Chain A
Amino acid sequence: MNLRGAGVSPGIGTGPAYVLTGAVPEPPAGSTYEGPPEPERERAVAALGQVAGELEARGNRAGGEAKEILKAQALIAEDPGLVVGVKALIDEGIAAPRAVYQAFAKYRDMLVSAGGYLGERVADLDDIRDRVIARLTGHPLPAPPPVPGAGEPYVLIAVDLAPADTALLSKDAVAAFVTEAGGPTSHTAILSRAMGVPAVVACPGATEIPAGTRVLVDGNTGEVRLEPTESDIARHVSAHDARRRRMTTGGPGRTLDDFRVQLLANIGGPDDLDEALAAGAEGVGLYRTEFLFLGRTEAPSVAEQEAAYRAALAAFPGGKVVVRTLDAGADKPLAFLPSAAPEPNPALGERGLRLFERYPEVMAAQLEALSVAAAVNRSGAVRVSAAAAELQVMAPMVATAKEAHWFADACHARGLPQAGVMIEIPAAALRAESLVTVVDFVSIGTNDLAQYAFAADRHSAALGSLQDPWQPALLDLVAMTATAASDNGKPCGVCGESAADPAMACVLVGLGVSTLSMGAAALPAVRTGLGAHTLDQCQLAAQAARGAATAAHARAAARSHLPGLVELGL
């Protein structure tokens, strides 16, 4: 029998199954207590405080990421709203354990109905609740053994795991984690990655695995095999080794037939540079400069900006750094850059380049800082005989060729030779030909392009399917832009979420995109996926995707032309 879930921490783990069961039972509804309410209230508050202390102490012992997570858990146990709720229920005559259960239920319902990231916090809340109830009722808490049982690490299986359970475990005790619930941002996923232990979450039926059964867990593919044979194990281990060997290979992005595609990182400030370098980025494809401006009462000085831009240039000698000018306004308003009037529809308001037309002095200062940063970096590079990074500057929220022309002129006048625009408004994609001729490059922001093309708020979870980067209409807009750029000999990048999906990255290359920029974490997988396919395969995949009627079909059709992805577990 084999099960399948979502692999969230890479690697292969085998060992006997240890199934964590025996959850704390729900205290019966309508249970009451004897005597006055005061001692019952004190009992409940004391239990909440003890659990908070215990969680914090465990975090301090574990250190690192677990410490932060458990500290937040401790805050929940002592949440004033929760404490007030428990006391009020006890005052109504409800016994402490049931009062705790009901007070938690209110917040639990709130998280469940919010879904998504908040929904994945439900397991954490339940664990805190059960710990408090166990203290009040004397019920033993299930806990995984901190040392391997039969002399070898075990595979820990549970409906869900709380950080308090996993924080003090180590690689010596646990070969792998499997949970029935949870998602990629659940604490099991985060902590297992930090521990370097393979993990599969969202694996239905896992807790029915009989205790002691030998289990193989593939944290890449999400496969969970029972009673694996030696050859099963060897096959999974060698697939993982092959994947890891190729994943860790740095070097420039290229297809199997050596077609070069620059792989760049999206960064939000100098703090992100280390991660970008570690992931083998060839430069920065999207430097979001908002971080310098947000939360400020006045614009940062030229000198302050210059230092932040120069840090990125210095990190990539011989590489490329694409800086996006301030994308503020509307949903990211700045006190010193108010829009002309209140905006009922902020995503369609005065933001990005539009705001610069009202505040040209802010644009002038930013371009000045960029120009100085490039000059200082160049002279520094000459001193150490290194190649200086190439600075490119682009503007967000550009709708027309006239705006693009205005921005490019302003950059060129400041001694910034490489001026480009983001393509994120459908009008700009439709008239890409007239925009690319007045700028030096373009970069497609797929997230906003999807939002505006589908009239679907990117923050609306309910409209998520319209934000799917595989929507054929979005692919058409990307294709139009990339074709117009290459016809005019101008580079065309993509710096949205979609570049981070290895299959989509191949499709984008097939559509004619020349550089891909993404969160640093996605670079190794994209580099590997691209390196496993020829340009011809990428083009066929792109054609197939555009020929499909739905996003799901587009994805499936593209993947059928990219056989290397399955072999690599991507």
Chain B
Amino acid sequence: MAERKVTVAAEVGLHARPAATFVQTAVKAPMDITVSKGVSGQPVNGKSILQILGLDVRQGEDIVIKAEGEGADEVLDALAAIAGTP
């Protein structure tokens, strides 16, 4: 299982446009993707905009993104870049 820890940089947090861009990228990946707030948070489905919004991640907060399987690293890099974009 590969994972990335990233600090959400957008002023609106992981909401609105950043959340939509994140999910649009996640749904294209063949494998399951989970997102949790902080290292100890409950993981949610990274392809679900409603669950991502429900995490209520604010600017400066950390998320941990996990995926498994072939191409997982590329997918995680792309998602981490979106979450880390101001």
Contacts and interface: CB of A to CB of B under 8 A. Distances in A.
Interface of A: 68, 71-72, 75-76, 79-82, 107, 110-111, 114, 117-118, 121, 268-269, 290-291, 294-295, 331-334, 459
- Chain A to chain B: the 10 pairs with minimum beta-carbon distance, closest first: A295-B84, A72-B20, A81-B48, A75-B49, A291-B86, A294-B9, A107-B50, A332-B60, A79-B50, A331-B60
B80 interface: yes
B86 A80 contact: no
A79 B15 contact: no
Contacts of A459: 58
A219 B30 CA distance: 48
A87 to B, nearest CB: 14
A110 B54 contact: yes
Contact of A81 (B50, B56, B81): B50
B28 to A, nearest CB: 12
A223 B56 CA distance: 33
Nearest to A117: B15
Given A80-B48, A269-B86, A107 B54 contact: yes
Contact of B16 (A72, A76, A114, A331): A72
Given A81-B45, A110-B50, A295-B80, 4 more contacts: A80-B27, A81-B50, A118-B56, A294-B86
A72 B84 contact: no
A114 B56 contact: yes
B23 interface: yes
Given A110-B54, A114-B56, A268-B11, A295 B45 contact: no
Given A81-B45, A114-B56, A75 B23 contact: yes
B19 interface: yes
A73 to B, nearest CB: 9
A75 B23 CA distance: 8
A76 B50 contact: yes
A355 to B, nearest CB: 14
Interface of B: 6-7, 9, 11-12, 15-17, 19-20, 23-24, 27, 45, 47-51, 53-54, 56, 58, 60-62, 80-81, 83-86
B9 A291 contact: yes
Nearest to A107: B50
A295 B23 CA distance: 19
B14 to A, nearest CB: 12
A268 B19 contact: no
A118 B14 CA distance: 11
Contact of A295 (B11, B47, B81): B81
Most B CB atoms within 10 A — which of A75, A76, A268?
A: A75
A294 B86 CA distance: 8
Nearest to A106: B50
B54 A333 contact: no
A75 B21 CA distance: 10
Nearest to A108: B50
A80 B19 contact: no
Nearest to A121: B53
A334 B60 CA distance: 11
B51 A81 contact: yes
Contacts of B58: 459
Contacts of B7: 294-295, 332-334
Given A117-B15, A331-B60, A68 B48 contact: no
Contacts of A75: 20, 23-24, 49
5 contacts: A68-B20, A79-B48, A107-B50, A117-B12, A294-B84
A236 B30 CA distance: 58
Contacts of B15: 117-118
A72 B45 CA distance: 16
A33 to B, nearest CB: 25
Contacts of A68: 17, 20
B24 to A, nearest CB: 7
A230 B26 CA distance: 56
B7 to A, nearest CB: 6
B45 to A, nearest CB: 6
Contacts of A333: 7, 62
A79 B46 CA distance: 10
A118 B6 contact: no
Contacts of A107: 50, 54
A118 B53 contact: yes
A82 B50 contact: yes
Contacts of A334: 7
Contacts of A82: 48, 50
Contacts of A79: 48-51
A107 B20 CA distance: 17
Contacts of B51: 79, 81
A208 B15 CA distance: 34
B68 to A, nearest CB: 17
Nearest to A269: B86
A268 B86 contact: yes
B55 to A, nearest CB: 10
A120 to B, nearest CB: 11
Contacts of B50: 76, 79, 81-82, 107, 110
A35 B45 CA distance: 32
